[in-house]
Amino acid sequence: MNEFGVAGWLYSRPILHEKSMTLVELPGTVRALGLDILELCSAFFENQSAKYVTEVRRAIDDAGMRIPNIAVDGPDISLADDVARGVHLETVKQWFHVAHAVGSGAIRVNSGGDVDAGPDELARIAEGYRTLAEMGEREGIRVLIENHGGASYKPGNIRYFLDTVASPWFGTCPDAGNYPDGTWEEGIAVMAPFAVSTHIKVSAYSEDGWQSRPGRDGVDRSSDLKAILSTLKDAGYDGPFCIEQGVSEDDLAASATGAVAYVKELLATL
């Protein structure tokens, strides 16, 4: 049975911009909503020192939270420069150790690259994921790809990465509200069989599940959430649904709890 939690990016405004909350406070904030699953974001970590990460781990344990994934932003494994790409890969590898420290079973690593990446760029990205999946196997931490910009915006590219790496330690983190230009149907079909965790964005409590989501960059990311949930169910997905966006930007608690209730209602109709 699927469980519900929060994708930490829901709280990016108070943590990163308003500075009214810290990562250490986030586990208790989410637990107060009646949820015990929280995806962390690398951008929320002040540093990776033992002292600080211990503080984060204690906050997680005190709140009784479970961490399915750390969304790692920043490094670019698509770079053509061998030295720079190697440095970026080593930067990603540090997050395996943080994942161990906070009890996370996965790290999400972006593909980087261009939307229209050519064969050489796609091959570099795939090789980067293969390298990380091999380390993930040694460390017992899965590596996930999300439809999160760059080359990963095209479902065919994600299929190529999954087929090329072909490792049980390389899976997906579908974002139900992030498929551009009507690619949600193909995208979720590619990602669902390999899904480990899922991001849910809710913009309206529509009965049919349709979520209208025009992007700030002018790219439409509207999708049928009910159909996406159905595809995940048919694929046997049993991972968490992590709320990353709700209907209210001003009341994040209400956004999270309202989205959970709404997704449960959609699931009940499947």
The amino acid occupying position 57 is R
Does the pLDDT at position 215 exceed 90?
A: no
Does the pLDDT at position 130 exceed 90?
A: yes
Closest CA to 60 of 45, 42, 38: 38
CATH number at residue 160: 3.20.20.150
Domain count, the chain: 1
Identify the sign of the CA torsion 21, 26, 32, 33: positive
**Residue 51 is part of which domain span?**
4-268
Q: Kindly report the pTM of this predicted structure.
A: 0.97
pLDDT in tens, 149-192: 999 999 999 999 999 999 999 999 999 999 999 999 999 999 99
pLDDT in tens, 218-255: 889 999 999 999 999 999 999 999 999 999 988 999 99
pLDDT, mean of residues 121-128: 98
pLDDT, mean of residues 197-219: 93
pLDDT (0 to 100) of residue 251: 96
| Three-state DSSP state, 139 | helix
pLDDT in tens, 18-27: 999 999 999 9
Compute the distance between CA of residue 65 and CA of residue 63 in angstroms, rounded to an integer: 5
- Between these two residues, 200 and 2, which has the higher pLDDT value? 200
Compute the distance between CA of residue 145 and CA of residue 142 in angstroms, rounded to an integer: 10
Q: Angle, nearest 10°, between helix axes 82-102 and 50-63?
A: 40
CB count in 10 Å sphere of residue 143: 29
pLDDT band at 34 (very low <50, low <70, confident <90, very high): very high
Identify the sign of the CA torsion 14, 15, 21, 26: positive
Residue with tokens 């995208």: 187
The per-type count for the chain, helices as H runs and strands as E runs, is 9, 10
